[in-house]
Amino acid sequence: MLWLYLLAFCRITIGLLFAASFGGKVRDREGFAQTIGRFDLLPQRWSYPLALLFLGAELLVVILIIWGGPLLAPAFGLAFLLLVIFTVALASVLIRNISTTCHCFGRREKQVTYADVWRNIGFIGCSLLGWWLAPQIPEGPASQNWLALIWGGLGGIADGNALLTILAVSAILTWLVLLLVVLFMLVLAKRLRQLNQHSPQKVILEESRKRRGQPAPQFEAQNITGETVTLDAFKGREVAFIFLSPGCPPCVERISELNSYYNQGQANGMEIVVVNVDPHISAESFVGQQGVQLPTLWAPQVSNPFAHDYGADSTPSFCLVDANQRIRAAGHLDSRYWRDQLALR
């Protein structure tokens, strides 16, 4: 009976883990691809294909876990492989002192720490245990198909069967998470159809205008000399806040273009201020390391709400504030149309 409970525990843990992980990442595929790029382990051009491959593998784990039976051992084996790959990548990031988020469950502000590595090691042990147990207990409720288990489990609840109750509840939870992901995928498909029907540039610029007219939130940040700067310092002036991180390759690529954009007068009198959200690199260090020629502020994303309040939950992002301190446009700084975004009136 103990082995049944252990297998049930492993199946529930890995099933819900990968369902939540897939659901979080699929909401921000671009951000996950950027995270893979920031790991700096493979050529940047591989980041997006690898992100899609990883997402597909995570979804496959969930499907195999739900199906159960003879597919349960392969599900645990694939989960083990994915967890090992991602854990090694996280460990390498820490060893090389690269500052980035892990994007394990979608967007998050917390930087990678050794706690993330140890958490994954625990999940690796769980997947290994499940892989070993699955062939030992090929029959029984712990290995049963979770769709059939829901119906059988309802009877078990009425009979007071604890194992069937746990498995039925976990099956229902996993199906709910998976159905939510499917609904999101349908919304995403609708979005892709919109992009196909309309100019991508038009759609992106329309999205950038969604917060138009909202009051710009107050903030506090430090400049390169360590002085505190607030929104009031820009009263009566148009300003574009560009939220960047030195650990984000697309951010670093934008810096020289932003320097040229501003120095050549293309900003049309609007001030451009770079906001470094990295908690480990000060504004002064960021300017020196990356050759930033624009005014630069430091607002660590993990402790300062500046970026979050301005909708910059990923980098690079931007927010245009007019002379009356109202938002004119905001959003993710697109790699193709960022000049058009900064020129929005």
- The string of pLDDT tens digits covering residues 161-177 is 566 666 666 666 666 66
29 and 176 inside one domain: yes
**133, 168, 197 — which closes off a domain?**
197
**162, 197, 232 — which closes off a domain?**
197
Q: How far apart are CA 14 and CA 25, in angstroms?
A: 16
- The string of pLDDT tens digits covering residues 273-331 is 999 988 877 778 888 888 888 888 999 887 888 988 898 877 888 999 998 999 999 98
Q: Which domain holds residue 337?
A: 211-342
Q: How far apart are the first and last CA of the chain?
A: 68
Which phi-psi region, left, alpha or beta, contains residue 230 (left: φ > 0; alpha: ψ -120 to 50)? beta
pLDDT of residue 274: 92
Mean pLDDT of 149-158: 54
165 and 83 inside one domain: yes
70 and 138 inside one domain: yes
Q: Which of 53, 57, 75 is nearest to 146 (CA)?
A: 75
CA distance to 13, 22, 61, 277, per residue, from 80 (Å)? 13, 15, 10, 33
8 Å CB contact between 112 and 94: yes
Report if residue 217 sits inside a domain.
yes
8 Å CB contact between 51 and 34: no
**Can you give the pTM of this predicted structure?**
0.53
Report if residue 256 sits inside a domain.
yes
Report if residue 202 sits inside a domain.
no
**197, 225, 252 — which closes off a domain?**
197
